[in-house]
Amino acid sequence: MKKFTFVLAALSLVGCQSSADMRKSIEQSTAPSEALKAAIVHDARDYLADPYSVRDAEISNVQRNPKTGIEWVCVKANAKNAMGGYTGRQTIEIDARGSVLVGNLPNSPACSNPLLKWQPFGELEALKNL
């Protein structure tokens, strides 16, 4: 029940934006800070089944929801699952306040917006070098 409530809360953070709000947010988006990327990489070590297998990683620009004050970014990557097989590129929306991560939503519809601006996320792929 706790997980279900969290997912509903995360959906409401981005889901309440209208199409015009979303377009404006994308137009005003900025590249993610090094601190935000470092926080994502740090948490990926606990979140992913095999964080050292990450490949084809990309991160979107940071979007801001003016109604909630929450910032969010999308990450796309391919990593091995608990069975040891690659799952194909999956997306996850990561909600943040500055460089503090406050939530996530796997396969968020917001991450499939074709207008999002993406860049390589080499820091996440570098986990394999640890």
Per-residue pLDDT tens over the stretch 73-104: 999 999 999 999 999 999 999 999 988 999 99
Confidence band for 16, pLDDT divided at 50, 70 and 90: low
Most confident of the following: 1-5, 8-12, 97-101, 118-122: 118-122
> Burial of 111 by CB count in 10 Å (0-12 exposed, 13-18 middle, 19+ buried)?
buried
pLDDT at 10 over 50: no
Strands (E), the chain: 50-60, 63-64, 71-80, 90-97, 100-106, 118-120
Q: Considering its fold, how many domains does the chain have in total?
A: 1
Query: What does the pLDDT look like over 40-83, one tens digit per residue?
Result: 999 999 999 999 999 999 999 999 887 888 899 999 999 999 99
Beta bridge partners of 90: 77
Determine the Cα–Cα distance for residues 38 and 36; give it in Å rounded to an integer: 5
Show the domain range for 74.
2-129
**Average pLDDT of span 17-41:** 87
